[in-house]
Amino acid sequence: MLRCTRCGKAYPETFRLRCDCGETLLVEREGYDFFGSLLPYLDIRRYLNFLPIGGNYLPPAIPAITPTTSVQAGPVFALFKLEYLQPSGSFKDRGTFVTVAKLMEEDINEVVLDSSGNAALSLALYSLPAGIKAHLFVSYDTMPEKLSLLQSLGAVIHFVEGDRMAVHEKAEEFAEREGLTYVSHWLNPYFLEGTKTAAFEVYEQVGVPDYVLVPTGSGTLFLGLWKGFKELEKMGEIARLPVFVAVQAAGYESLCERSKLPNPLADGIAIPQPPRLKEMERVLDETGGLCVSVDEHETREALSWLKRAGFLVEPTSAVVLAAMWKLIERGEISDGSRVLLPLTGSGLKLIEGI
């Protein structure tokens, strides 16, 4: 079922973004045995038993199980998870895969999303074979190459004047006015069901890390990873959650104090008012976590380090490494810790910039 994150009201598992009270929803499911429920696949279908979809209507571009690789980084072990090795080049495909499967089951074939970035590319790529028409709301400063790719994938582009929050509002208004399904990944509980599978993989690959550092704007990966580890705890697999660290872009912080000078490199997390903010605050409380803000210079340095280590990622992905360095310097991560650093987006589409 779906359950409200504020008032606790329950709903059946249909496609829905909000509780009647206006607050966000999470999928809730009961009592599994983790290893007994794994399916014999070597891709995301391995975790189908934990997902709120039937499995009869799956998009053809199946997300991969991404490698998790341990690299000694000063006094700690960095566990890089190569989340960018997905069909559209980012971790968003996990969430999109589950969302589109759900939409297909409910026979919904026209949807609205706001995002000029990875979520839009992911939805466009998965919508086309599913026969779903995607209206994508974007700002005027979206890269022309990205727009032409989105259009060639059959998406309908709607331009909006204003900042990221204005684009979000316009998309929701349009969906309401036209009677279409708004699939905002900021709100969509099925999206988090997809991203939670990354935690299941980490657990199978390396057990429970001590820290999880996540690029955090709207929180789709932050909350997904938290939900995955939380379910493992409920299943009795793990005794404690990792400490969650939200890593944010300077100038766009929602959990850390807002910086004056914005970080123009971390566009993937430049979301100053995420709707799931309270949920994220609760995760920081629950796990004894904290928020770290990263500026342009720090992002650039981390990006360069990652490239030299063999990881071709986009700038937003680099903030977690910069944050880890800060925490080590401040003495806030103890020696020998195992620190999960999901690398969220591919650098290949930005070959000139990296």
Residues that bind a copy of itself (CB under 8 A): 41-44, 59-69, 71, 80, 82, 85-89, 125-126, 128-129, 145-146, 148-149, 152-154, 201, 204-205, 307-312, 346, 348-349, 351-352, 354
188 contacts 223 by C-beta, under 8 angstroms: no
Element holding 338 (H helix, E strand)? strand 338-342
Nearest distance from C-beta of residue 237 to a copy of itself, angstroms: 16
Tokens for 192, please give them.
């988090």
Q: What are phi and psi of 249, to 5 degrees?
A: -85, 130
Nearest distance from C-beta of residue 107 to a copy of itself, angstroms: 19
Region for 309 from its dihedrals, namely left if φ exceeds 0, alpha if ψ lies in -120 to 50, beta otherwise = alpha
- Number of residues that make up the chain: 354
Tell me the H-state helices in 153-245: 164-178, 189-195, 197-206, 220-234
- In the bound state with a copy of itself, the residue whose beta carbon lies nearer, of 166 and 354, is 354
- In the bound state with a copy of itself, the residue whose beta carbon lies nearer, of 14 and 70, is 70
- In the bound state with a copy of itself, the residue whose beta carbon lies nearer, of 235 and 312, is 312
- In the bound state with a copy of itself, the residue whose beta carbon lies nearer, of 123 and 291, is 123
Q: How many CB atoms lie within 10 A of CB 33?
A: 11
Spacing of C-alpha 58 from chain mean position: 20
CA distance 113 to 162: 16
- In the bound state with a copy of itself, the residue whose beta carbon lies nearer, of 5 and 69, is 69
Dihedral sign, CA of 16, 134, 254, 161? Answer: negative
CA distance 307 to 285: 34
Nearest distance from C-beta of residue 129 to a copy of itself, angstroms: 5
- Per the listing, tokens 């690029």 go with 215
Strands (E), 53-139: 68-73, 76-81, 110-114, 133-139
Nearest distance from C-beta of residue 106 to a copy of itself, angstroms: 20
- In the bound state with a copy of itself, the residue whose beta carbon lies nearer, of 190 and 311, is 311
- In the bound state with a copy of itself, the residue whose beta carbon lies nearer, of 146 and 276, is 146
- In the bound state with a copy of itself, the residue whose beta carbon lies nearer, of 216 and 346, is 346
Nearest distance from C-beta of residue 152 to a copy of itself, angstroms: 7
Nearest distance from C-beta of residue 301 to a copy of itself, angstroms: 15
Nearest distance from C-beta of residue 307 to a copy of itself, angstroms: 7
- Per the listing, tokens 């340095």 go with 301
Element holding 306 (H helix, E strand)? helix 296-308
CA distance 195 to 128: 21
Nearest distance from C-beta of residue 156 to a copy of itself, angstroms: 16
CA distance 291 to 207: 23
CA distance 272 to 251: 8
Q: What is the largest CA-CA distance in the chain?
A: 55
Nearest distance from C-beta of residue 59 to a copy of itself, angstroms: 6
- In the bound state with a copy of itself, the residue whose beta carbon lies nearer, of 113 and 187, is 113
